Amino acid sequence: MYDFKPVIEKIKTILAQEKSGAKVFDKDVAKALDIPQTTFATMKKRNSIPFKEILQFCAKNRLSINWLFFDQAVDMLSNQTEKYFEVRYFSDIRASAGGGADVFNENYEVLSIDKTIMNNIVPFANREIEALNVDGDSMEPTLRDGSIVFIDRTQTNINKDGIYIASTNAGLFIKRIRQRVDGMIELISDNRAYSPEIMLPEEINIVGRVVGNIESL
């Protein structure tokens, strides 16, 4: 079990540097993680770690999550590659669970994540894992708006059951995808309020399969 309190103190150290050494309080950490103060206080008391918000904080501040949890610097990790994963996190891209969203670009942060943490999020993770955000409610209750999803770029066979990221002319979609007997492709939402979308095979490119996620608060 990871201890949230030392992580909080390290985040305070980072924030204090930004404030030229000024005193930093829990409320400042809550603000930096974009978590309501009362929710943050409850999480601290229960030792409930907001991994999603911490990942976003690391990406924004170009920090190693391994340093926050294990005091491991990146140069230390470079000699122990078998102990961590490097995940490309597209923090500015949201795979739409409703309408279309932006396509992939080159604006991403590299997150160094300890294998123990990563295996808790994505069992049997490989080196092709990438992460991005979910936008919209059409995949609820499976995936909530604002969650981070981890995708495996090597898994593009839609004949396997699961949720996929699909690139279309309208942007990125995160859906269950099925090929019909007539050859058309169905993009299916878990939220029953949304009807399936139908596309021609040439109108869609499968980016990868969702293999894990971190829920938003």
Strongest mean pLDDT among 5-19, 64-78, 86-100: 5-19
Among residues 90, 78, 188, the alpha carbon closest in space to that of 133 is found at 90
At 209, is the secondary structure helix, strand, or coil?
Answer: strand
| Domain locations in the chain as residue ranges | 50-214
Q: What is the pLDDT confidence band of residue 159, given thresholds at 50, 70 and 90?
A: confident
Is the pTM for the entire model greater than 0.85?
Answer: no
Q: Give every CB contact of residue 165 below 8 A, 6+ residues apart in sequence.
A: 95, 132, 149, 151, 172, 173, 174, 206, 207, 208, 209, 210
Reported CATH class of domain 50-214: mainly beta
pLDDT digits (tens, 9 = 90+) for 118-139: 777 777 666 678 888 888 899 9
pLDDT recorded at residue 124: 66
Residues 118, 207: Cα–Cα separation, whole Å: 21
Mean pLDDT of the chain: 82
pLDDT digits (tens, 9 = 90+) for 96-109: 655 444 555 667 77
pLDDT recorded at residue 129: 85
Residues 190, 178: Cα–Cα separation, whole Å: 13
pLDDT digits (tens, 9 = 90+) for 7-64: 899 899 888 887 776 788 999 999 999 999 999 999 999 989 898 888 888 877 777 7
